[in-house]
Amino acid sequence: MARRPLPPDPWPQVLEAIIGDVTGVFAATEERLIKSVALELRTRDITEQTPRLAAIQRLRAAGEAAAAEVQEQAGPLADDVIGRALTTGETFAEAWTRSILGDLPGSPLPHGTLATSLLAQDLHNRFEDVTRRILRWPDDTYREVIARTVPGILIGGDTGRQAQVRAWRELRRAGVTGFIDSADRRWNLATYVEMATRTATRRAFTDSNLATLSSYGIDLVTAIGGGGQCEACGRWAGAVMSQGGTGARTVQVPHSTRDTTVTVRVRGSVDDAIADGFQHPNCRCTLVGYFPGMAQNTGHTWTRESEDAQARLRALEVEVRKSKRDEIGALDEDEAKAARSKTRRLQAKIRDHIDETGEPRRREREQLNYGHHPGPR
């Protein structure tokens, strides 16, 4: 029997739009702060005490203004993200079920309000961490440039401008940093916000998706493998899991549409899969209802080549954003011109890479603001 196509519900695009909108808000703030520090470094002599103190005061004010603006948006953003993801999860579960069975076997139950509020609060807390770092970054970064510049001048190894350019280049390429996840990995602002938002939206989407399936009496699920999935997710793509129970087992279950039974090999529970690395931060794989006896399309199969291809594309996108930060933070036109040239070379590498691998190009990931456009989509 031929596999049925995936349902026409645009859930991947919806989730990516949510993630891009939120990441873009914070990335645009980072861009403004980089420009603020660059302006002070271009127009003031950091070896002079009085103008240096005035610059620090201005940058401190810029950090406070940016943090206040983000803080005002953080709560509504978190609530909106979770709400949209929950709605999308329910819609997707229903679309998937209809695509296989042609109808829905009952009525769904609403997602718990407590679970919703906890998910939103967790994301809000993450945004609070970002806000605190935004508050200090312009002041801290300017002071760090001074700390790295003055010793070189004193020992005669550099001119003031050479030392300043080198110190500022290193700091701006990293962007706003200081975010550490539970695995002790360090992130810069945009990638941290994207990871946190993706994790939260996927959790909300998955919870709503599974709750909706359960309300229709559907316990068994399987995993759609995302493109470029990691090896851990690849172990579970296409496997059958249960929402309840633990461990691998073979079960006899009713056929989805016929008056007979089907033997199903259950790999384990959803919790077992998650404990094994499935649905890690930034995961793009998805759980869907499994219907015994019915052919289902479970997406991509993991290969080392596809995982490496996506990792390479993500690395090139990061380098493009760094070179664009170099351009907006350049201290003179020659430096800005060199940065623009580097951006073009990197984007040529991206074109070659997608031609070679077939990876989809996502141009918004090459923009500093992740393609964010203020206002509703």
Q: What is the pLDDT of residue 166?
A: 83
Low-confidence ranges of the chain (pLDDT < 70): 1-12, 45-47, 106-115, 150-161, 182, 373-377
**What amino acid occupies position 340?**
R
Q: What is the pLDDT of residue 1?
A: 36
Q: What is the pLDDT of residue 98?
A: 85
Q: What is the pLDDT of residue 47?
A: 67
Dist. CA 76–CA 148, nearest whole Å? 39
Strand runs labelled E in the chain: 177-180, 186-188, 220-224, 240-242, 249-254, 261-269, 286-289
86-140 pLDDT, tens digit per residue, is: 888 888 888 888 888 887 776 655 555 556 778 888 899 989 989 999 999 999 9
Of 321, 232, 307, the residue nearest 272 (C-alpha): 232
Q: What is the pLDDT of residue 67?
A: 93
Dist. CA 15–CA 202, nearest whole Å? 8
Q: What is the pLDDT of residue 7?
A: 46
Q: What is the pLDDT of residue 118?
A: 83
- Helix 189-215 to helix 49-101 angle (10° resolution) is 20
Q: What is the pLDDT of residue 95?
A: 85
* Residue 276 three-state SS: coil
